[in-house]
Amino acid sequence: MTDTSLAAPLDSQTWPIAVCMHGFPPVGRDGTALHDAAPEVWDDVFGQVARLGFTAIELADSHIRPADLDASRREELLSIARAHGVTPISVHVQRQSVIQPGRGEQNLAYAHRTIDAAAELGLQVFSTGLHQPFSDAQRRALWFWTATGAVDPDDADTRALAVKRLRELGEHAASVGLPMSLEMYEDTYLGTADSAVRLIEEIGLDNVGLNPDIGNLVRLHRPIEDWREMHEKTLPYANYWHVKNYTRDEAPDGTWYTSTPTSMELGLINYRAMVARAIELGFAGPFLMEQYGGDSLGVCATNRTYLQSLLPEPAGA
């Protein structure tokens, strides 16, 4: 499950480490969406990424939708990125659940188009999940994870539909040589370690694995599973990994919980231990540096340096 067909052996200098797009506004000051922006705007994005030392980026469809770019714009995107020495290595389809009420079939068709676009762009991973658009309460909250969003129903037929549609996407991804990674996220069928693992096993395809983004769960203002146990259960199925961290505190009697974003090194999750365990279990997928709030790009760069210190040294070093 962890084989991503990347060149091996990987080390601190060759392991693919991408940056997220959270540090860039999805809509510019002039009201133009980044997806539709002029080439000079894209040039600035990739220029900033390169100046921070990143050579890879994840295309989040909240910012740029590869499926909705025509062939000339896709080529323009690649050309601008390459000019800065940056490679788009993954696409992340978010909040477009294939079981979203009233939109599941439409989202499924969009995901299929995204897989084709990812293959055309030469990306290495198709990433998605089952989380849905923000609720009004989430849009109003300082941190969206402190408010209640959509919840996947405890219903066998709906879960079976999720398995069926995700398997369909996985088979499509396999046909174009792409691994598919499913992001863990609260209140979905990927919202607990046991449920996420069971979903991967129900889909039953070698190219479909987990994005064990336990940070999505550590930040919740509610009781959570032990982060060590969640990693132990999910890392054997990991083929792509969004990494981020949060401080977390809670009252012993469960009357309050709090969390805020921080660097990988300072948060609750001990990534030194978890990265070592992942490698021991055979993880060989790309990492994605993710950060909410503050200077997202700067923290991602700090986190990349920290992560590289945890990865194997180059042979002969």
pLDDT of res. 60:
97
Q: How far is CA 42 from CA 22, 34, 73, 255, 260, in A?
A: 14, 8, 11, 46, 30
Q: Which of 258, 263, 273 is nearest to 219 (CA)?
A: 258
**Other CB atoms within 10 Å distance of the CB of residue 153:** 12
110-126 residue pLDDT tens: 999 999 999 999 999 99
pLDDT of res. 5:
45
Residues contacting residue 106 through CB under 8 Å, at least 6 positions apart: none
User: By the 8 A CB rule, do 184 and 215 touch?
Assistant: no
pLDDT of res. 315:
82
Nearest 5°: phi and psi at 56? -145, 150
User: By the 8 A CB rule, do 114 and 91 touch?
Assistant: yes
**Interatomic CA distance for residues 280 and 238, integer angstroms:** 12
**Interatomic CA distance for residues 175 and 152, integer angstroms:** 29
Tokens representing 214? Answer: 């336990």
Tokens representing 201? Answer: 């096993």
**Interatomic CA distance for residues 179 and 171, integer angstroms:** 10
Question: Helix (H) and strand (E) counts for the chain?
Answer: 10, 10
pLDDT above 80 for 6 = no
pLDDT above 60 for 3 = no
- Under the phi-then-psi rule, with left for phi > 0, alpha for psi from -120 to 50, and beta for the rest, what region is 102? left
pLDDT of res. 8:
58
Tokens representing 262? Answer: 């921080």
pLDDT of res. 317:
67
What is the pLDDT confidence band of residue 2, given thresholds at 50, 70 and 90?
A: very low
Dihedral sign (CA 289, 293, 297, 299) = negative
Give the strand order in the sheet containing 125-128: 208-211, 180-183, 125-128, 87-92, 56-60, 17-19, 287-289, 241-243
How many residues would you count in the chain?
A: 317
What is the pLDDT confidence band of residue 298, given thresholds at 50, 70 and 90?
A: very high
Q: Domains plus CATH for the chain?
A: 17-307 (3.20.20.150)
54-94 residue pLDDT tens: 999 999 999 999 999 999 999 999 999 999 999 999 999 99
Nearest 5°: phi and psi at 248? -145, 135
**Interatomic CA distance for residues 96 and 172, integer angstroms:** 17
Tokens representing 292? Answer: 């909410």
178-236 residue pLDDT tens: 999 999 999 999 999 999 999 999 999 999 999 999 999 999 999 999 999 999 999 99
Q: How many CA atoms lie within 13 A of 148 on its CB side?
A: 2
Dihedral sign (CA 64, 163, 107, 145) = negative
123-172 residue pLDDT tens: 999 999 999 999 999 999 999 999 999 999 999 999 999 999 999 999 99
pLDDT of res. 88:
98
15-48 residue pLDDT tens: 999 999 999 999 999 999 999 999 999 999 999 9
pLDDT of res. 7:
53
Q: What is the pTM of this model?
A: 0.94
